[in-house]
Amino acid sequence: MIAIDREKCCGCNYCAIMCAQEALFYQDYDMELDQNKCELCGACVYYCPSGAIQMIRSD
């Protein structure tokens, strides 16, 4: 699954801009992820300049 560290997130929104599924969005100035829309492509991890997004195994 995708995990967001809100302490690290600066709110640049690069991840939301590039997410093809529109699963990431900046709501009330906190980054939120719609797990139902997310297809776990992992691209957001490589669009985050502050290292706030990680792909982690959920098992």
Q: Which amino acid is present at 56?
A: I
The encoded tokens of residue 40 equal 């776990």
Residue 28 as a binder of another protein (CB under 8 A): the answer is yes
Q: For the CB of residue 58, give the shortest distance to another protein in the complex, in Å.
A: 22
Q: Quote the least distance from Cβ 5 to another protein, whole Å.
A: 11
Neighbours of 23 (CB within 10 A): 20
Tally of CB atoms within 10 A around 38 = 17
| By CB under 8 A, residue 12 contacts another protein | yes
Binding site for another protein (CB under 8 A): 8-14, 16-18, 26, 28-29, 43, 46-51
